[in-house]
Amino acid sequence: MRSAMTTATKLSFIHRFEPATDKDRPPLLLLHGTGGDENDLIDLGRIVAPGAALLSPRGKVLEGGMPRFFKRLAEGVFDEADVKRRANELADFVSEAREEYGLPAPIALGFSNGANIAAATLLLRPEALAGAALLRAMVPLSQPPATDLSGKPVLILSGAMDPIVPTANAAHLARQLQHAGANVDHRTLPASHGLSQADVTLTRDFLARLAA
């Protein structure tokens, strides 16, 4: 049995933390979509990375009462100044949590808005993350700074019928990350914006390879 923690408030983000039962697995940083919270991706994390430590913060931005990780100006139009501020804030939280809980750099597992802040964090603060699984991500920064993601594994899973993320936008994000040196595996699934069983299976396989 895990000794699961309840929601914690002592660090800079409200969050949940579950300690590892399998020390060979890298920890996961779980980043929810709009309207989610620190509980949303816990079950997914347990499924795709059994035994891994789980660190799941709640986004600090509210949009119509719904938590997000950064502001947007309209659907698919991001406040890039806020993206940069919030990505740095998240990276600082990861550093705090690593010290508090004795963790190595985590792999981000983000969905939608959470995937976008994970991508921005990779581009702005690459030292914060060991890699990422980005589910339904789009370009968070139109002109990202030069950065070195050499060797960092990144999985991007897009939906061919996603009404929110254009396929060309997701492909552009993959190119941005590849240009920075990341090892990117980008797949477009026969899915919409919601997650499918294929997302679960591919993410689980990706994370299993990192633990091997």
Positions annotated as catalytic residues are: 112, 162, 193
Report the alpha-carbon distance of residue 38 to residue 57 in Å, rounded. 5
33 by DSSP, 3-state: which?
coil
CB 81 within 8 A of CB 72: no
CB 56 within 8 A of CB 42: yes
DSSP codes, 83-147: HHHHHHHHHHHHHHHHHHHT--PPEEEEETHHHHHHHHHHHH-GGG-SEEEEES---S-SSPPP-
Report the alpha-carbon distance of residue 69 to residue 110 in Å, rounded. 11
